[in-house]
């Protein structure tokens, strides 16, 4: 048996997704997620113009060999476009292998290490009252962990804060359909650093110590600002502080570490194990934040997580709405199987997306399960997908108050 056809499906049920469909000569279909927010068509082209013809006729069972063929064989390595394309192929091949075995994928990864996967939701609000309502709403839904982001006085719309009302479940979508150019947002680190510790203090006062609290710095601080912030918020016992500094600078985490015991998470913009080499071996982080979709798929992510496990570092796989339900399923199967699971991000997809991608996920009191269907457990309805045409959408660009471009 071999790979008979490879198709790339671009659809936009409220936001853009790129999905790979691999079909074997005996008709088994595997799905892979290749969505790269704001650069979707580059990955679609990488897959259809370059990889598709190389895959036809290959033995679908040789997953490791195919991964190495696509990674080493290209000569050019790493980068989000390449690694998202490889990830999609890898997921599709694991989906096929598990369907052939008649098992949910987590069984092939060693079986379940837990009954369900603790997830965190995104609670946000332009002010504290709105944030507090959102946290209450998620607690009522059963969530045991929330990421909190809030407006900063003096700044307009900023990263991570829903413009919709509090408690809205499908509330935050950072990619904007704003024509040919990205929307722009404003930022001032000093105002943020002055405001944020008080917000955590108020949350602890109102909600107590049980709730797991997470926060995303979204790459905006300098190393010394981040060190100071991480130290200031120690009394509020965060589950993690994410992306305190820009992702390229691994050494920055060393400085934060020297000053604070606030747990650190990073990696959503990383795409290979090499981005983590220093961070893992020097124990400069506590959680690996990569998306399976942006890091070369299940094969590569499993290796990163096993490497992290040796150093006592746990998983916190990226799961925003720009990871399709296929990519989310890949994360959930890994989460269930690995020993060093930490937490899983969960931003539920909108209803249109869930019409296109049929999942078998179940949510029970703060825990998700990928379901027990053979494979990844997600099927794409091609007819439903064809109703939603690609629509240009970009993540915002960020500027300081004097107009300087800053990390978004």
* Active-site residue set: 159, 218
**What token pair was written down for 64?**
């490791």
Look at residue 339 and give its three-state secondary structure: coil
For Mg ion, the closer of residues 218 and 333 by Cβ is: 218
Residues 160-179: x/- map of binding to ligand GCO (CB under 6 A)? --------------x-----
Task: Work out what residue 335 binds among ligand GCO, Mg ion, none; the CB cut-off runs from 5 to 8 Å by kind.
Answer: none
Applying CB under 6 A, which of residues 33, 185, 286, 322 lies at the interface with ligand GCO?
322
For ligand GCO, the closer of residues 23 and 350 by Cβ is: 350
Q: How far is the CB of 232 from ligand GCO (least distance, A)?
A: 21
Are 296 and 87 in contact, with CB atoms under 8 Å apart? yes
Residues 372-401: x/- map of binding to ligand GCO (CB under 6 A)? -----------------------x------
Q: How far is the CB of 267 from ligand GCO (least distance, A)?
A: 10
196: closest CA among 160, 149, 264?
A: 149
For ligand GCO, the closer of residues 108 and 395 by Cβ is: 395
Contact between 216 and Mg ion by CB under 5 A: the answer reads yes
Q: Buried b / exposed e across 172-186, counting CB within 10 Å, b at 16+?
A: bbbbbeeeeebbebb
Residues numbered 235-264 forming contacts with ligand GCO, rule: CB under 6 A: none
Please list, in sequence order, all residues whose beta carbon lies within 8 angstroms of the beta carbon of residue 248, skipping any fewer than 6 positions away.
none
Q: What is the DSSP string of 177-234?
A: --TTS--EEEE-HHHHHHHHHHHHHHHHHHH-SSSEEEEE-TT-S-HHHHHHHHHHTG
Contact between 345 and ligand GCO by CB under 6 A: the answer reads yes
Task: Work out what residue 182 binds among ligand GCO, Mg ion, none; the CB cut-off runs from 5 to 8 Å by kind.
Answer: none
Distance (Å, rounded) from C-alpha 75 to C-alpha 296? 15
Q: How far is the CB of 343 from Mg ion (least distance, A)?
A: 13
Please list, in sequence order, all residues whose beta carbon lies within 8 angstroms of the beta carbon of residue 386, skipping any fewer than 6 positions away.
11
Contact residues for ligand GCO, defined by CB under 6 A: 37, 174, 216, 218, 268, 320, 322, 345, 395
Q: Which residues bind Mg ion (CB under 5 A)?
A: 216, 268
């Amino acid at each position: 048996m071999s790979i008979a056809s490879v198709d790339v499906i671009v659809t936009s049920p409220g936001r853009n997704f790129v999905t790979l469909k691999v079909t074997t000569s005996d008709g088994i279909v595997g799905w892979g997620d290749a969505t790269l927010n704001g650069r979707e068509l580059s990955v679609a082209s990488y897959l259809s113009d370059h990889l598709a013809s190389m895959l036809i006729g290959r033995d679908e069972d040789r997953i490791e060999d195919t991964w190495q063929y696509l990674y080493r064989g290209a000569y050019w390595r790493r980068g989000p476009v390449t690694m998202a394309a490889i990830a999609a192929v890898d997921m599709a091949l694991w989906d096929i292998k598990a369907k052939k075995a008649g098992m949910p994928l987590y069984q092939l990864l060693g079986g379940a290490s837990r009954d369900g996967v603790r997830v965190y939701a995104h609670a946000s609000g332009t002010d504290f009252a709105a944030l507090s309502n959102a946290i209450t709403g998620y607690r009522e839904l059963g969530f045991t962990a929330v990421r909190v982001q809030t407006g900063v006085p003096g700044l307009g719309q900023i990263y991570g804060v829903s413009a919709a009302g509090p408690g809205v479940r499908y509330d935050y979508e950072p990619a904007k359909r704003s024509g040919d150019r990205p929307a722009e947002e404003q930022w001032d680190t000093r105002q943020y650093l002055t405001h944020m510790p008080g917000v955590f203090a108020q949350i602890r006062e109102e909600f107590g110590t049980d709730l797991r609290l997470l926060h995303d710095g979204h790459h905006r601080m300098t190393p010394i600002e981040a060190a100071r912030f991480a130290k200031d918020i120690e009394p509020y016992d965060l589950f993690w502080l994410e992306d305190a500094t820009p992702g390229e600078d691994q050494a920055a985490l060393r400085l934060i570490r020297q000053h604070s015991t606030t747990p650190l998470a990073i990696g959503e913009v990383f795409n290979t194990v090499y981005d983590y080499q220093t961070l893992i071996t020097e124990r400069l982080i506590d959680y690996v934040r990569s998306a399976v979709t942006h890091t070369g798929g299940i094969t590569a992510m499993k290796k990163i997580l096993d490497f992290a496990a040796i150093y006592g570092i746990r998983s916190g796989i990226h799961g925003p709405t720009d990871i399709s339900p296929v990519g989310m399923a890949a994360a959930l199967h890994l989460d269930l199987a690995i020993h060093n699971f930490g937490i899983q991000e969960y931003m539920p997809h909108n209803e249109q997306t869930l019409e296109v991608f049929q999942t078998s996920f179940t949510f029970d009191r703060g825990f998700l399960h990928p379901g027990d269907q053979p494979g990844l457990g997600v099927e794409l309805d091609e007819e439903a997908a064809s109703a939603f045409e690609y629509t240009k959408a970009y993540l915002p660009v960020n500027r300081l108050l004097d107009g300087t471009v800053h990390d978004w």
